[in-house]
Structure 1
Amino acid sequence: MAPRPPPIHRLCVRILLVSFVAAHRLVPPCSGSFYDFPFPAAGKRHDYRDALAKSILFFEGQRSGRLPPGQRASWRGDSGVSDGAAAGVDLEGGYYDAGDNVKFGFPMAFTTTMLAWSVIEFGDSMPRDERRHAAAAVRWATDYLLKTLAHPGVIFLQDHDCWERPEDMDTERTVYNVSAGRPGSDIAGETAAALAAASMVFRDDDPGYAETLLASARKAFEYADTYKGAYSDDPDLRAGGCPFYCDFNGYQDELLWGAAWLRRASKDDTFLQYIQNNGKTLGAEDSSNEFGWDNKHAGLNVLVSKEFIEGKVLSLQSYKEFADNFICTLIPESSSPHITYTPGGMLYKPGGSNMQHVTSISFLLLTYAKYLSKSSHTVNCGDISIGPVTLQRQAKRLIIC
């Protein structure tokens, strides 16, 4: 069975800065072949700043737990304040996944990673207030993720399914966890990535909190690498998480993804060596034109290639090549087999919730363009060479579509 279509708050995180950045960078208008279809009529402009503000505000509407005094979504009230009580732990907080009040650690951690990555790469382009609200959205998630790691040898991932107002919930809140006996390298690796990425968001404004996040990320990664396995291979966890949140793609990408973010956040050569030594066995070169909560390979390659592009770690050249291969599948003029587009120019993949692919891939296009723009590197797609302007243009076209 196909994975559950991602609820809207995971889509918002991936579109969060894409639209704003595309609109506020100097991106030439589309022209030529594939790009010859209409932009909005003259005088009609997309209000990207307003879209950005609403995307961040949406997170406040998804908050679980006791709401803070500065809560702007005033129509929401406290909910889920006793989450975790059934297992004798405190799991208050975090975000609901959708209207059924699920809190599930794996996709929530990916949401956190992507939101943090957005702030890291493009936060300087945001209005000051929105940058502050985005950091608060990251912290609401990381405060919860820290709780899931608070008990040695166990990582909690809560699940529940109840279609009602969260303020009115009176049914049992089921609690699941992974441990040495039933490993979950996927959830632990993604949690490590989320906490490591978030540590960079708070490094300047709250260095103590940033250090706590980074230390917890190391702890989560150590668990992921020591007790290898996918959480959905366990019968009890499979019953609670599947068919919607099974790990369809395996846990190997989350190990590399977690190590890559720990390398980025800590500059620790231990994680660089991990990436170099385990890339092949953990599937870094796996070809895929997908990037989302279950498949991190494309994002991993874009992230890791940054050090090679900057000329700092030449041994990571293969990750640049893997990232290029991914990018070439997105360029219609490329001779590589590429992803399908609708007649109007929208990236299309079969299955539910197509926008999850559009938004996440747009983000990678803009991020890779940013890395390339600070170097002489391009993307080699057979007989054509692609530069950062083309990647920016493609991302903007996808957003406007």
Structure 2
Amino acid sequence: MNHHDDDVCVYMQLFEFGDKYRGKYDSSVSEVWRYYASVSGYGDEMLWAALWLHRATGRAEYLDYAVAMADEFGGTSWAITEFSWDVKYAGLQILAAKLLLEGSYRPEHRPTLEQYSSKAEHYLCACLGKNGAAGNVNRTAGGMLYVRQWNNMQYVTNAAFLLTVYSRYLTASGGAAAAEPAVLQCPDGPVGAGELLALARAQADYVLGANPAGSNPNVVVGGPDHRDRFSDRRSNYMQTEACTYNTAPMVGVFAHLHSEGAQERK
């Protein structure tokens, strides 16, 4: 057994523990409630874990769990326009949509995976501003996606990551064997992989300094406000708080953009 197998075994045990003893973590660690209360509950984390364990192990029981608990845990009912440290629904919905695009499921799973996929499309189309009357994510004059004033950059970097990931899924599923390229179907019209990646790139450029705020490039903190204004003061924690859930998604985005650039240079 290698280190990867050891890690997966630990995650499987944690999943079993979490499913057996269901509840919000801030009910046990009351000190964090004022700062990091779990608004979305634990359902999204359980579905998120089940889908990742299915991907890591290939074991059917984890996908069965994600399908069986999809409605009760909100996976197929929460249509939202944010992905954050607390609210994982958009991420897990996109992970489920990947299975649908790949055809990696049993026939009885298809109806639930289609429900997951429709919610993933809602999120992506909202980020693109093509969600019609269903509502879109706001943007600043400088082009930054804007959800709320407190640490808005987490929503920017996570959106950039999910847009990048889904563009890769579309590209992979619409390969040479496909009759035509796979697209994202939005209320305001179809969207190709290139348009998804273009928005992700625009958000990455904003983060790196191509913005009216003049933020220091490569510093991913809470970020500018709805008018692209940024006050770099330590006491201004809504804009200057540094968090791993802001920076971690950009690693994936930068890795993809770097590899894309390398391909173009060949």
TM-score, normalization: structure 1? 0.46
**DSSP-derived class of the 2:161 partner:** helix
**DSSP-derived class of the 2:34 partner:** coil
Q: 1:302 aligns with which of 89, 94, 101?
A: 94
Matching residue of 1:394 = 199
Does 2:170 correspond to 1:372? yes
Matching residue of 2:146 = 348
Matching residue of 1:363 = 161
Does 2:65 correspond to 1:274? yes
Asked if structure 1 preserves the Cα contact closer than 8 Å seen for 2:122 and 2:131, the reply is no
Instruction: State the distance in 2 between where 1:281 and 1:218 align.
Output: 21
Report deviation, 1:354.
1.3
Structure 1 segment 147-226 matched on structure 2, within 5 A? 208-226=2-20
Q: Structure 1 residues 290 and 383, CA, compared in 2 at 3 Å: closer, same or farther?
A: closer
Cα deviation per residue 1:61-95 (whole Å; 9 max; x = unaligned)? xxxxxxxxxxxxxxxxxxxxxxxxxxxxxxxxxxx
Asked if structure 2 preserves the Cα contact closer than 8 Å seen for 1:372 and 1:388, the reply is yes
Instruction: State the distance in 1 between where 2:193 and 2:64 align.
Output: 29
Cα deviation per residue 1:340-366 (whole Å; 9 max; x = unaligned)? 000111101223111111101100000
Does 2:123 correspond to 1:318? no
Higher relative contact order (CA 8 A, sep 6+): 1
Structure 1 segment 235-246 matched on structure 2, within 5 A? 237-238=29-30, 240-246=31-37
TM-score, normalization: structure 2? 0.69
The structure that has the greater radius of gyration is: 1
Report deviation, 1:318.
2.1
Does 2:197 correspond to 1:385? no
- Identity percentage of aligned residues: 31
Greater helix percent: which structure?
2
Structure 1 segment 3-22 matched on structure 2, within 5 A? none
The one-letter code sitting in structure 2 at the alignment partner of 1:223 is F
Cα deviation per residue 1:144-185 (whole Å; 9 max; x = unaligned)? xxxxxxxxxxxxxxxxxxxxxxxxxxxxxxxxxxxxxxxxxx
The one-letter code sitting in structure 2 at the alignment partner of 1:219 is Q
User: Any unmatched runs of 5+ in structure 2?
Assistant: 175-181, 207-266
4+ residue runs over 4 A deviation: none
Asked if structure 2 preserves the Cα contact closer than 8 Å seen for 1:309 and 1:320, the reply is no
Asked if structure 2 preserves the Cα contact closer than 8 Å seen for 1:328 and 1:381, the reply is yes
Matching residue of 2:23 = 229
Q: Structure 1 residues 353 and 383, CA, compared in 2 at 3 Å: closer, same or farther?
A: closer
Matching residue of 2:254 = none
Instruction: State the distance in 2 between where 1:355 and 1:251 align.
Output: 23
Matching residue of 1:252 = 43
Report deviation, 1:292.
1.4
**DSSP-derived class of the 1:343 partner:** coil
Q: 1:328 aligns with which of 103, 121, 125?
A: 125
Structure 1 segment 112-123 matched on structure 2, within 5 A? none
User: Any unmatched runs of 5+ in structure 1?
Assistant: 1-206
The one-letter code sitting in structure 2 at the alignment partner of 1:231 is Y
Matching residue of 1:337 = 135
Matching residue of 2:178 = none
Give the aligned CA root-mean-square deviation in angstroms: 1.4
Alignment coverage as a number of residue pairs: 192
Q: 1:289 aligns with which of 59, 70, 81?
A: 81
Report deviation, 1:382.
1.5
Report deviation, 1:248.
1.7
